[in-house]
Amino acid sequence: MSNNIKAFIFDLDGVITDTAEYHYKSWQKLADEEGLFFNREINEQLRGVSRMDSLEIILDGKELAEDLKKEMTDRKNAYYQKYLEKISKEDILDDMESKLIELKEQGFKIAVASSSRNARKVLKNLKISDLFDTISDGNSVENAKPAPDLFLHTAEKLGVEAEECVVLEDAESGVDAALAANMIAVGVGPDDRVGKAHLVYSKVAEIDFEEILEKI
């Protein structure tokens, strides 16, 4: 099957860089201001989830007017944007940059497909935007992960079939989206989070693309 693989699609947060702590701090600040209960356990549920859906998880059934929810997610994003200013090339996880370059040299197409609307800004600060053939983000499709739309949109932009793509994801919703798109899913993280993937690596440093191509 590996002979058919033409593209690798990467989630951004947790696979290429790790801004999870910035998300956590931003949500925690908002929750404190609004008197909402929030902790790291709840934060884990937000991996790969859109901004508004994340707020709904934090609200835990509490009903608010739509304009107030929009103001709250905008405020959270403003806090997050400030944290993003600190991101630099040093924040690329492990040897991911060299792995990306190697895949390109081998003739594979590579893309980022992230639920984050800030994906392009993060990649620009990491100084690796030009490595990717295309970048899809939270503005690209209406239905967020676990819907397959973001990955299918990315494959279309790359000019490849879904079956020709390998997706690397650190979130359960992302793995579900990749499987729903009929793509090969490679999970990065603990089994209880990404165990449904075809292959699982506990951390970025362990990712072996030769092994991935051999095993699939």
CA distance 204 to 15: 6
Q: How far is CA 89 from the centre of its chain?
A: 18
Asked if residue 163 belongs to a known ligand binding site, the reply is: no
Q: Which residues are marked as active site?
A: 11, 13
* Annotated binding residue 169: yes
**Residues contacting 73, CB < 8 A, separation 6+:** 51, 52, 54, 55
Is residue 173 part of an annotated ligand binding site? no
Does the annotation place 105 within a ligand binding site? Answer: no
* Nearest alpha carbon to residue 26 among 90, 74, 87: 74
Structure tokens at 149: 């739309």
Binding residue per annotation — 76?
yes
Q: For residue 77, give the DSSP letter.
A: H
State yes or no: 104 annotated in a binding site.
Answer: no
Query: Is 50 annotated in some ligand binding site?
Result: yes
Annotated binding-site positions: 11-13, 27, 46-51, 54, 76, 114-118, 145, 169-170
